Structure 1
Amino acid sequence: MSIELDLRLAGEGTRFRIFPQPRFLKKADGSGPLFPEPEVVVVNVEPSAMRPGPGDDRMFVVDAVGKLPYKDFFRPPWRGQARPPVRPGPDGHFDHLDPATRDFSAATMYATVRRVLDIWEDYFGRTIQWHFESDFDRLELIPLIEWDNAQSGYGFLEFGFGRTPKKTIDHSRPYCENFDVLAHELGHSIIFAEVGVPASPLDPAIDYGGMHESAGDLVAIVASLHFHSLVDYLLDSTRGNLLTINGLDRVGELSDSSEIRTVFNNQRMSEVGTEPHDRSLPLTGAIFDTMVEVFQQDLVAKKLISEELRERSTHLPGSAIDLKEIEAEFTAAYTGNEAAFKESLLVARDYLGRLLAITWSNLSPDFLTYHGILRALLRADRELTGGANAAIIRSCFAWREIAPVPTSLLVRNHTVASCGLDAAAYHPAAPADPAIDPQQIPAPRPERGNFISPRMI
């Protein structure tokens, strides 16, 4: 969501409170909760348009009683018994709810999904129509079923609870309060709506599957960067040095194997297989690296860090001494300039959101490849910036080894002969006119082996 829209919603939307990350996460020293209090967020629905549930014209919560998880022959809408819908306070808002209550959990699920949808509709610049619109007009949200799992499906999201070490249901960890998980699942719905699904049974959809999981992670991380408390923690922990190993370790503490951890990874294509979650890591890393590079580029432009420091932090020198020097220099640059660093990160966040929205809007799901996504990102950057960040995108994807596969027609050499053309046809014999000197007839041009010059990445 653009910074401008967020400011406007503060006076027009409906208020809720949600935790930026699960409330069970502890500080690094174990002294207490990492985020002890929920943060106020505002959704793009006026209080007068809110419905009990909570709900609106796009989605609604139903707190089902005695429900089993939906399966292939058991789908929405839920027609069984449900608890009374959550209602707003006297002022029309929901930020009065006690975090210790079931009503808070139900309202949090609605607020999270609605907030994430608002953010991405702003980046797309239009309404995202549900992929299930032929059957349902609203997304059904079921917050707390007695189940140690969660799932998204055709027209619904239903969440249970985490598991204890003994594999039983842990009622202290409701999935409906986990912002990352909810945002990730909504990310799948956005891709189904905007990209679609492969049409050919001959399409193995290997990169399509990886793209789907990557998109879910990226939808979650961009949305989570709209929490001021999380952004402040991220920058205070890393001093803006988001690409060093120290930064990876510190940010990894933020989540228990959720999306914030997966965007900070060093995986390359040669190190992953075909399983969608595994394969998503290089693509997610390349795109997130692009945002960080744009962030640091803005710091250089504002003379907050030097180009030389940016280069050293990007290429990750191998010695511990170098890393400590980089950390010390970022600390010196960040101290006293915290607001400016935050502004640069939020600008980079919004650039990435718009870049992805344009890219996803123009992808075909059929025989999708990561190289095709790279080219779509470059086209999107030309639309947004005139190609100002093309070099950054190329370098981030090159490091991740994302390139055309060796068998791709894009990198096949084409000679004149392989194209069925006769080189001699371009150099006919000298005419019989005695006025023409045969020595003046140009020699045949040397054959060019490549129409597309190959690059080793």
Structure 2
Amino acid sequence: MSLELDRRLADVGTRFRIFPQPRFLQKADGSGPLFPEPELVTVSVEPGGMQAGPGDDRMFVVDAIGKLPYNSFFRPPFRGAARPPVRPGDDGHFDHLDPASREFSAATMYATVRRVLDIWEDYFGRTIQWHFESDFSRLELIPLIEWDNAQSGYGFLEFGFGRKPNGTIDHDRPFCENFDVLAHELGHSIIFAEVGVPASPFDEGIDYGGMHESAGDLVAIVASLHFHSVVDLLLDSTKGNLLTINGLDRVGELSDSREIRVALNSRRMSDVGDEPHDRSLPLTGAIFDTMVEVFQQDLVARKLISDDLRTRSTNLPGTSQDLVEIQAEFTAAYTGNEAAFKDSLLRARDYLGRLLAVTWGNISPDFLTYHGILRALLQADREITGGDNVEIIRACFAWREIAPVPTSLLLRQHTIADCGVSLGKGATVAGGRAVADPRIPGPRVNGVTSAARI
């Protein structure tokens, strides 16, 4: 799976540099940028198949001039004035661009979306066809419009800038360089393509909306864990202790991104309402917990931590003394075994990516429920591992209170009489009528055995 992706692309793909997290993020001690330099990534498109823009057969960048945001009356394709397309270097790659340049921002937007698509197509094991393919063959990427917002829509992604405290546009914070935001928005496109949308006007889509936001976050989380720097910071900060409360605090130091923070939450269904972002939290948490449990299960199997430590960290002990002791044990286990911990986490990451791809490929959008997603995840695990992790999945979802709603027909009790098989001596029920068991003779009428009368 994706552990092999970069090795496969290294010699054939096109090189870019992108920041794994926004460059304005600072270290917890304020000593400098958390990610001072962009990292090298390779996308699946060969240099010979790359177009100026950048662009390829699936997506392209157009750096529009003076463009207003798309709306219900103004939609792609953009036909206005645009800056010259960004071109590759003499070697066909884009890793020469100056991070201070506008060209770098445009190339970053393309490289991020292309990279995330590569990762998830690898998990799906096939091409993800755009949900707008009936109208457009390529996704339009607009990187830097004069707007303090960003949006995705039918056939496009267009991004502006963040805001300053006084509410004005902050040109030092372009959304098109924010890996998590771009990955999250592409996640919505993946769900539209692979799951679809509810067909019935009577379907309120409450859990569908929560699933959509959760999927966007999970697409971003799994994709961000393909940066070695992000994985290294995560493990160095937590020492592999991702479930206890001090682990949550330390991960908070890693990034201001919404995706990392929402994954590490303690919300249950009784804590949230119907608003999609709020409702997404228990689902995202349950699925992220599953990845962490699989990670720790592998650590136990490789004798890197004890089963007792795994159990105590999973059950979230409540005293500060417990937490300090657990963290000390994780620190001792991690020290000297950093590479092994990282390998286990990457394997858990790829398991989660494949689990989600199989699940999303199999669920229906119509009257979708979180319980239905749970059952699809269990079925996906049986397909991937033979059911090795079904108990982990069940436990993680049970803690989040994800179960059939009380009014679900799944919880309805059925008596034998309801099912039409409970009767008096020698009889059954068919279609609501009593009929005789043909093996038992009935009363004789004019010398002929008749049906038994109930």
Common fold, TM-score beyond 0.5? yes
RMSD: 1.4
1:431 shift after superposition: 8.0
Gaps of 5+ in 1: 433-457
Corresponding letter in the other structure for 1:262 = V
Distance 1:338 1:18 in 2: 25
Q: Deviations over 1:223-282 (max 9, x none)?
A: 000000000000000000011111111112233251111111000000000000000000
Distance 2:72 2:114 in 1: 26
Corresponding letter in the other structure for 1:63 = D
Distance 2:54 2:244 in 1: 42
Output the TM-score relative to the length of structure 2.
Answer: 0.93
Equivalent residue number for residue 20 of structure 2: 20
Equivalent residue number for residue 310 of structure 2: 310
Q: Deviations over 1:104-161 (max 9, x none)?
A: 0000000000000000000000000000000000000000000000000000000000
Equivalent residue number for residue 107 of structure 2: 107
Corresponding letter in the other structure for 1:165 = P
1:422 shift after superposition: 3.1
Q: Indicate the SS of the match to 1:8.
A: helix
1:416 shift after superposition: 1.6
Conservation of the 8 A alpha-carbon contact between 2:299 and 2:341: yes
Corresponding letter in the other structure for 1:86 = V
Corresponding letter in the other structure for 1:194 = E
Equivalent residue number for residue 372 of structure 1: 372
Equivalent residue number for residue 175 of structure 2: 175
1:24-173 map, 5 Å: 24-173=24-173
Equivalent residue number for residue 396 of structure 1: 396
Corresponding letter in the other structure for 2:355 = L
Distance 1:425 1:410 in 2: 31
Conservation of the 8 A alpha-carbon contact between 2:426 and 2:440: no
Q: Indicate the SS of the match to 2:358.
A: helix
Distance 1:257 1:413 in 2: 45
1:351-366 map, 5 Å: 351-366=351-366
Q: Indicate the SS of the match to 1:253.
A: helix
Conservation of the 8 A alpha-carbon contact between 1:17 and 1:40: yes
Identity %: 82
Corresponding letter in the other structure for 2:31 = S
Conservation of the 8 A alpha-carbon contact between 1:268 and 1:400: yes
Equivalent residue number for residue 195 of structure 2: 195
Q: Does structure 1 residue 284 correspond to structure 2 residue 284?
A: yes
Conservation of the 8 A alpha-carbon contact between 1:267 and 1:400: yes
Q: Deviations over 1:62-84 (max 9, x none)?
A: 00000000000100111000000
1:421 shift after superposition: 3.6
Conservation of the 8 A alpha-carbon contact between 1:25 and 1:254: no
Q: Deviations over 1:308-358 (max 9, x none)?
A: 000000001000001000000000000000000000000000000000000
Corresponding letter in the other structure for 2:229 = S
Distance 2:79 2:172 in 1: 28
Conservation of the 8 A alpha-carbon contact between 2:180 and 2:257: no
1:425 shift after superposition: 4.3
Conservation of the 8 A alpha-carbon contact between 1:416 and 1:423: no
Q: Deviations over 1:383-416 (max 9, x none)?
A: 0000000000000000000000111111111112
Output the TM-score relative to the length of structure 1.
Answer: 0.93
Distance 2:423 2:35 in 1: 72
Equivalent residue number for residue 412 of structure 1: 412
Distance 1:63 1:422 in 2: 73
Q: Deviations over 1:140-189 (max 9, x none)?
A: 00000000000000000000000001111000000000000000000000
Distance 1:79 1:407 in 2: 52
Q: Deviations over 1:5-44 (max 9, x none)?
A: 2211111100000111000100000110001111100000
Equivalent residue number for residue 216 of structure 2: 216
Conservation of the 8 A alpha-carbon contact between 1:417 and 1:423: yes
Tell me the number of residue pairs that the alignment of Structure 1 and Structure 2 aligns: 432
1:291-370 map, 5 Å: 291-370=291-370
Query: Is the alpha carbon distance of 1:52 and 1:431 closer, same or farther for their aligned partners in structure 2, counting shifts above 3 Å?
Result: closer
Query: Is the alpha carbon distance of 1:422 and 1:39 closer, same or farther for their aligned partners in structure 2, counting shifts above 3 Å?
Result: same
Equivalent residue number for residue 231 of structure 1: 231
Gaps of 5+ in 2: 428-435, 442-454
